[in-house]
Amino acid sequence: MRIARYGFGLSLCAVFFSAQAGAESMQMEEITVKGATATTQTEILTGREVRESPARDIGEALKQMEGIDIVRKGAIANDVVLRGQQKDNINVFLDGMRLHGACPSRMDSPAFHFDFAQVEEISIVKGPYDLTSPGGIGGEINAVSKKAGSGVGGDLSLTAGSYDMVNASASTWYGAPAYDALLGYAYKYSGVPESGDGRRITELYPSTSPNRYQPSAIDSRAYEINTGWAKVGVNPGANARGEMSYTFQDAEHILYPYLLMDADYDRTHQLNWNYRLQNVSETLRDLKFQVYWDQVRHLMDDKLRASALGRPRYYSMQTDAETMVYGAKVTGALAMGPGTLTAGADYYNRNWDAVNRTVGSGYQDVAMIPDVTTDNVGFHAGYQLPLAGGLALKGGARADLTWIDAGKPTNKSDSATSFGTVSGNIQLVWDASEGVELFAGIGSGTRPPDAQELYINSPRQQGNPFLDPTRNTEVDLGVKYTAERFFVKASIFNSFFDDYVNQVPTGTTRSFANIDANIWGAELGSQIALPLNLYLKGALSYTEGRNETDHRPLSEMSPLKGTLALRYDVDDWFVEVAENAAGKRDEVDATLNELPSAGWMTTDVKAGCHYGPFSLYGGVYNLLDKFYYTHLSFLRDPFASGVKVPENGRNVYVTAAYRF
């Protein structure tokens, strides 16, 4: 009923504002900005795109972009996949701060640990082209947090939707020329979503499965999350800015039907300080310093499942995990000769510890991730050279030293390792003619194996302490065509992996092995302004992976997928219809029990309007209530229970926002 009333309000709003149509819309402005700034190797997801959607997390918000997919394990905390690259192959940062999750099953993927109410926009780099951070061989996702506006201001936003979903956030700020401050708070809650067949995602299991939810948990909360953040900025001079921010997030009772356990809580602290000096002198153009610290405590168990019934404790299995990262970074840019030289150094330290307790081993503490510390120090230098004829050449190199050490005794024959690696890239951009930009790049990036891949000790998964660092050598070609009323871009890539870390079956357990692999793919993205205030947006992406060592497909590659959206957008209101589709995937790794998946097609409808400081958005996603899975919801993880989690059925949402 409540939803219906909002819907009525929205249509009134639309009728009222249609009378005032005519001016150039924000949509047109966005096409101009995106056309000018986005390259074939980068994408930007704007705050506007996030606010309009019913996305519950960053993963859901990002999946509309070409080249991005998610692994769904429950109602929230989706794991982001970029061009088939998962986990440590991609870097996920908040304002350049390195984030890691604590859970060995990636319940709390890095992007889960901040709220998108904090975020202004998200930038994505595809491929190993960022030399200023270690790892990120498949690319980098960096969320940029909101800054205080000038004077006193703030915003309030409330989303209500199907399955009792609530997203509420408030922030307030004060900005003076010399300093500014911002405070924010977000609350998220949801009941258990239903898929297109009318079943809740807690009802996926057969009635005999030990992993089925207990009757009392079937209709429980899917998650409840509180996030608070504060940011203080100082501007000691026209060319200098310092920022300090702190975030605390408490996520409770998060259901993961995909896995054997659910999370009791994730408690996250993030502290980030940075200082930037620009135009210091004719030579020193830019100088940035950053120091950060973040920590996650994660507790999961099976207390909501049948497997916990009749046990001496309230669970039959539990994992208590913690991770902590601290790091520092300095980067400078110098005008040198005809171009710009950038150089810098960085360091980070990550500790990861997970303790497992099961009824089978008498609830003894088992060092699942044995208190492993990773230290990494890196140096980089690059040069950007403008050439004649609209050509620009950019290139550089990076060297890293990594030490990894298990602090607790392990069951492995080696409990410490170290690596020295070198990476680099060359990028050529050619402004061929008015609005036409061509890109060619070759990059080679490396990342060390992580603590789990090296040292995990669990009946379901065993680390391999002799893994080598993974190297991705990637070739990219891209073309972008921008004109006054549209942009179109296309890119194609081929990644050649040496020592790709692949999951392999070994007897009754799973372990990791270095293999040679190859991933190639292509993306197409466009935004076009048509006559009559109509806009067309299209995205298409494809990836295919090959295990060259074992001559079979690489697991978990997305099929061909795309979105086509038509939008009517005038100054104060819009209506949009989007058609999303994915093809079938039959190239699978059968040795990991990966199964082919069917194609699907869904329709989303949304509308919104603005009235001074007020905005109202609403929509129906999966309008036809289709029952479908994304390909990446497949079993490959030894901690997965074997059921796939379907996407949401028809779901309705309304967002009311106020900015002052």
Applying CB under 5 A, the residues found at the interface with Cu ion are: 103, 105, 107, 300
Q: Which two tokens stand for residue 629?
A: 């899975």
Nearer to Cu ion, 367 or 554 (CB): 367
Nearer to Cu ion, 107 or 204 (CB): 107
**Smallest separation, CB 221 to Cu ion (Å):** 17
Nearer to Cu ion, 159 or 323 (CB): 323
Instruction: Identify the CA nearest to 251 among candidates 220, 219, 218, 228.
Output: 228
Nearer to Cu ion, 266 or 569 (CB): 266
Look at strands 486-506 and 509-529 and give their pairing: antiparallel
**Smallest separation, CB 225 to Cu ion (Å):** 15
Is 263 strand, coil or helix? Answer: strand
Nearer to Cu ion, 107 or 325 (CB): 107
Report the alpha-carbon distance of residue 410 to residue 513 in Å, rounded.
19
Cα dist from 507 to 360, 362, 451, 471, 642, whole Å: 20, 24, 22, 28, 18
Instruction: Identify the CA nearest to 265 among candidates 238, 303, 229.
Output: 303
Report the alpha-carbon distance of residue 87 to residue 79 in Å, rounded.
8
**Smallest separation, CB 303 to Cu ion (Å):** 13
Nearer to Cu ion, 103 or 429 (CB): 103
Look at strands 79-82 and 179-191 and give their pairing: unpaired
* Cβ-contact 140, 131 below 8 angstroms: no
437's enclosing H/E stretch is: strand 436-447
Nearer to Cu ion, 264 or 437 (CB): 264
**Smallest separation, CB 260 to Cu ion (Å):** 10
Q: Residue of minimal CB distance from Cu ion?
A: 103
**Smallest separation, CB 136 to Cu ion (Å):** 24
**Smallest separation, CB 73 to Cu ion (Å):** 10
Nearer to Cu ion, 107 or 540 (CB): 107
Nearer to Cu ion, 62 or 296 (CB): 296
| Residue 656, number of CB atoms within 10 A of its CB | 17
* Cβ-contact 299, 353 below 8 angstroms: no
**Smallest separation, CB 409 to Cu ion (Å):** 23
Nearer to Cu ion, 10 or 261 (CB): 261
Nearer to Cu ion, 300 or 467 (CB): 300
Q: Which residues contact 361 (CB under 8 A, 6 or more apart)?
A: none
**Smallest separation, CB 236 to Cu ion (Å):** 43
**Smallest separation, CB 263 to Cu ion (Å):** 5
CA angle 303, 304, 307 (to 5 degrees): 70
Nearer to Cu ion, 424 or 638 (CB): 638
Nearer to Cu ion, 250 or 431 (CB): 250
**Smallest separation, CB 259 to Cu ion (Å):** 7
Backbone CA torsion sign across 503, 507, 509, 512? negative
Q: Which residues contact 207 (CB under 8 A, 6 or more apart)?
A: none
Nearer to Cu ion, 109 or 421 (CB): 109
Residue 539, classified by CB atoms within 10 Å of its CB into exposed (0-12), middle (13-18) or buried (19+), is buried
**Smallest separation, CB 368 to Cu ion (Å):** 11
**Smallest separation, CB 543 to Cu ion (Å):** 27
243's enclosing H/E stretch is: strand 240-254
Nearer to Cu ion, 110 or 134 (CB): 110
**Smallest separation, CB 103 to Cu ion (Å):** 3
> CA 442 from chain center: how many Å?
24
| Residue 30, number of CB atoms within 10 A of its CB | 17
**Smallest separation, CB 102 to Cu ion (Å):** 8
Report the alpha-carbon distance of residue 538 to residue 403 in Å, rounded.
45
Concatenating the DSSP letter of every residue in 508-549 gives TEEEEEEEEEEEEEEEEEEEEEPSTTEEEEEEEEEEEEEETT
Radius of gyration of the chain from Cα atoms? 24
Residue 578, classified by CB atoms within 10 Å of its CB into exposed (0-12), middle (13-18) or buried (19+), is buried
Residue 214, classified by CB atoms within 10 Å of its CB into exposed (0-12), middle (13-18) or buried (19+), is middle
* Cβ-contact 210, 304 below 8 angstroms: no
**Smallest separation, CB 638 to Cu ion (Å):** 13
Q: For residue 641, which amino acid is it?
A: S
